[in-house]
Amino acid sequence: MAVFRPLLMTATTLTLSVAAALPLAGQGSQQQPIFRSATRTVPIYATVTDAQGRLVPDLEQKDFEVFDDGTRVDVSLFENVVQPITVVVMLDTSGSMTMNLELLKQAATQFVIRLLPDDRARVGSFSDKIRVSPPDFTGDRDELMRILREDIQFGNPTALWDATEASMEALKDMQGRRVVLVFTDGADTYSRRSQGDILTRARAEEFMIYAIGLRSQMRGQGVTRPDPGLRKVAEETGGGYFELRRTDELNSTFTRVASELHSQYALGFTPQAMDGKVHKLEVRVTQPGLVARARKSYVAK
User: Is residue 11 predicted with pLDDT exceeding 50?
Assistant: no
226/213 Cα distance (integer angstroms)? 5
Average pLDDT, the chain: 87
- Looking at residue 222, its pLDDT comes to 66
- Looking at residue 2, its pLDDT comes to 45
Domain boundary assignment for the chain: 2-19+86-261
Specify the DSSP element, H or E, that contains 117: none
CB 269 within 8 A of CB 41: yes
- Looking at residue 10, its pLDDT comes to 32
214/160 Cα distance (integer angstroms)? 14
Pick the more confident residue, 298 or 18: 298
Pick the more confident residue, 297 or 215: 297
Q: In the predicted model, what is the mean pLDDT of residues 276-291?
A: 97
Q: With pLDDT > 70 as the criterion, what percentage of the chain qualifies? A: 85
Q: Does domain 2-19+86-261 correspond to CATH entry 3.40.50.410? A: yes
Sorting pLDDT into bands at 50, 70 and 90, what band is 34? low
Q: Which of 76-80, 213-217, 275-279 is least confident?
A: 213-217
150/38 Cα distance (integer angstroms)? 46
Considering Cα of 46, then 52, then 58, then 62, what sign does the dihedral take?
Answer: negative
58 CA to centre of own chain? 23
Q: First vs last Cα of the chain: how many Å apart?
A: 34
242-258 per-position pLDDT tens digit? 999 999 999 999 999 99
Looking at residue 190, the DSSP 8-state letter turns out to be S
- Looking at residue 128, its pLDDT comes to 85
Burial class (CB within 10 angstroms; exposed 0-12, middle 13-18, buried 19+) of 234: buried
Give the residue from 116, 75, 91, 68 showing the smallest Cα distance to 214.
Answer: 91
Give the residue from 162, 166, 160 showing the smallest Cα distance to 193.
Answer: 162
263/240 Cα distance (integer angstroms)? 13
145/123 Cα distance (integer angstroms)? 9
CB 164 within 8 A of CB 180: yes
Specify the DSSP element, H or E, that contains 55: none
Q: In the predicted model, what is the mean pLDDT of residues 141-164?
A: 91
181-230 per-position pLDDT tens digit? 999 988 888 899 999 999 999 999 999 999 999 987 665 666 778 888 99
Q: pTM above the 0.85 mark? A: yes
- Looking at residue 78, its pLDDT comes to 97
234/222 Cα distance (integer angstroms)? 26
Tell me the CA distances in angstroms from 154 to 50, 113, 256, one per residue in order: 39, 24, 26
Pick the more confident residue, 38 or 202: 202
